[in-house]
Amino acid sequence: MKIGSLSPPTVLRNIGQLATCPADAVQQDAGLIDNAALVFEGNKITWVGAEEQLPDQLGKLDFIDCGQRLVTPGLVDCHTHLCFGGWRGDEFEMRLQGRSYQEIAAAGGGIRSTVAATRSDSPVQLADKALKSLQGILDLGVTTLECKSGYGLEKVAELKQLQVYRQLDEQQAIELVPTFLGAHMVPDEYQDRRNEYIRLLCDELIPMVSEQQLAQFCDVFVEEGAFSLAEAEEILVAAQIAGLGLKVHADQLSNGGGAQFAASMGAVSAEHLEYASKQGIQALADTGTVAVSLPLASLYLREAYMPARDMLAAGVRVAVATDFNPGSAPSYHLPLAMTLACINQQMTPQEVLSGATTIAARAVSAEHRIGSLIPGYEADIAIFDVPSVNHWLYHFQANACCGVIKAGQWERRYL
């Protein structure tokens, strides 16, 4: 930026409750300041504190009156499968009639049917559909979103999803963090030669995705019917060599030692963990691997919820995300996932807010830059039409968000 073209500071005053969510705080402490003010210049936060301590020169500037509302860091949804073809409403009905998620998958539905639809959709169709979701996601106060491939399961269609993410990252305000999930399932055409699919991933796709900088992370679905621990290790070692960060879909439908595995691989996050064991939880605590809870998947599959209290008691950081996808979690509503984490996982509103801001940022290795409202951090800010975090997550509304700032730019403003 040229000298002289710096924008003047923007001053937010009369904030009822400001949640600063510092990266070094314990999870139950969202860094709340009542009757606060916040200042940003360009794309950076420059001052936060109690309004009565606002320095004189900042107090003289024009300001935006937040009307005693809640101000938080822009929310971070650290686990989604944003780009997919088709939907699976018929499976929803089948599950309600008593068929299980695994049964439907084994009969050719589930992830397989989304793979067929994603392969046949054009990049434009996929991008238009994902863009529509992103507009609704931004409305809710989300400013950063992790998004996985994994519905292509072949070179062309996996790259197609990642290229859609690259295009959308430039085209709209939410910052996208792409993850390569070629190891979501072994596609039908490789069922009798799984090892060849694993070679394709390790020898061709992972190096290519990394070289073209199409993904920052590599994820593997470790589960019966998906990938074994030994296969996942092969894949994640290749990812590590290629310079990608590691993530694992672990212990979602059964305890398969996924949490210990994620920790032992040095993964930045282990996700789902509904059936994580005591030893698995301890392993995550020992390595600082973030546990990503996905309460919407538990809700829709009528499955167990991640044992978040046990995780927190052991010293594990717990992020909360949506898992938005057409099967197990067909909703991108992060505040709904947050309220569910309170009710079904006995997490406090402050724990949940930390989990959808600074800890979610940690799950995408960005906690030094986003997810906190601290001087020097990026000016990603959400404003909610409620007086406090407790009130927000207790009084569930279709959308309480009334202002969104991404990198210092207003993207939504209804105040």
Task: Select the residue interacting with ligand NIG from 178, 245, 280, 327 (CB under 6 A).
Answer: 327
Q: Which helix (H) or strand (E) holds 258?
A: helix 258-264
276 binds, among Fe ion, ligand NIG, none (CB under 5 to 8 A by kind): none
Task: Select the residue interacting with ligand NIG from 20, 80, 118, 325 (CB under 6 A).
Answer: 325
Residue type, 341: A
319 strand-pairing partners:
292
258 binds, among Fe ion, ligand NIG, none (CB under 5 to 8 A by kind): none
Considering the complex, state which of residue 84 and residue 384 has its C-beta at the smaller distance from ligand NIG: 84
Q: Cα 286–321–335 angle (5° rounding)?
A: 135
Whole-angstrom Cα distance, residue 224 to residue 240?
A: 24
Token readout for 321 is 């995300």
Token readout for 5 is 């073209």
Residues 113-152, mask of contacts with ligand NIG (x by CB under 6 A): -x--------------------------------------
Whole-angstrom Cα distance, residue 155 to residue 276?
A: 32
77 belongs to the binding site for Fe ion (CB under 5 A): no
Distances (CA, A) of 279 to 18, 199, 266: 37, 31, 16
Task: Select the residue interacting with ligand NIG from 73, 110, 280, 403 (CB under 6 A).
Answer: 110
Q: Which stretch binds ligand NIG (CB under 6 A): 18-26, 59-67, 326-334, 392-400?
A: 326-334
Q: How far is the CB of 325 from ligand NIG (least distance, A)?
A: 4
Q: How far is the CB of 188 from ligand NIG (least distance, A)?
A: 15
CA dihedral 135, 139, 140, 142 (to 10 degrees): 60
| N- to C-terminal Cα separation, the chain | 29
| Residue closest to 252 by CA, chosen among 220, 290, 215, 221 | 221
Q: How far is the CB of 188 from Fe ion (least distance, A)?
A: 20
* Polymer length of the chain: 415
Number of residues that bind ligand NIG (CB under 6 A): 13
Considering the complex, state which of residue 96 and residue 398 has its C-beta at the smaller distance from ligand NIG: 96
- In the region spanning residues 322 to 361, those forming contacts with Fe ion, defined by CB under 5 A, are 323
Q: Which stretch binds ligand NIG (CB under 6 A): 259-267, 318-326, 331-339, 375-383?
A: 318-326
- Asked if 240 and 219 count as a contact pair (C-beta separation under 8 A), the reply is no
Considering the complex, state which of residue 234 and residue 323 has its C-beta at the smaller distance from Fe ion: 323
Q: How far is the CB of 271 from ligand NIG (least distance, A)?
A: 7
Whole-angstrom Cα distance, residue 296 to residue 341?
A: 9
Whole-angstrom Cα distance, residue 272 to residue 166?
A: 26
297 binds, among Fe ion, ligand NIG, none (CB under 5 to 8 A by kind): ligand NIG
Q: How far is the CB of 84 from ligand NIG (least distance, A)?
A: 7
111 belongs to the binding site for ligand NIG (CB under 6 A): yes
Give me the helices (H) in 74-154, please.
Answer: 89-96, 101-106, 111-120, 123-139
Considering the complex, state which of residue 23 and residue 267 has its C-beta at the smaller distance from Fe ion: 267
Considering the complex, state which of residue 178 and residue 326 has its C-beta at the smaller distance from ligand NIG: 326
63 strand-pairing partners:
none
Residue type, 17: Q
Q: How far is the CB of 252 from ligand NIG (least distance, A)?
A: 5
Half-sphere exposure of 174 (CA within 13 A, CB side): 29
- In the region spanning residues 165 to 204, those forming contacts with ligand NIG, defined by CB under 6 A, are none
Q: How far is the CB of 98 from ligand NIG (least distance, A)?
A: 18
User: Is 331 exposed, middle or buried, given 0-12, 13-18 or 19+ CB atoms closer than 10 A?
Assistant: middle
In this chain, which residue has its C-beta nearest to ligand NIG?
327
- In the region spanning residues 236 to 255, those forming contacts with ligand NIG, defined by CB under 6 A, are 249, 252
Instruction: Name the phi and psi angles at 23, rounded to 5.
Output: -65, -25
- Asked if 345 and 293 count as a contact pair (C-beta separation under 8 A), the reply is yes
326 belongs to the binding site for ligand NIG (CB under 6 A): yes
Report helix angle 111-120 to 155-171, nearest 10. Answer: 70
- In the region spanning residues 23 to 82, those forming contacts with ligand NIG, defined by CB under 6 A, are 81
Considering the complex, state which of residue 90 and residue 211 has its C-beta at the smaller distance from ligand NIG: 90
The binding site for ligand NIG (CB under 6 A) comprises 81, 110-111, 114, 221, 249, 252, 297, 323, 325-328
Where do contacts with Fe ion occur on this chain (CB under 5 A)? 323
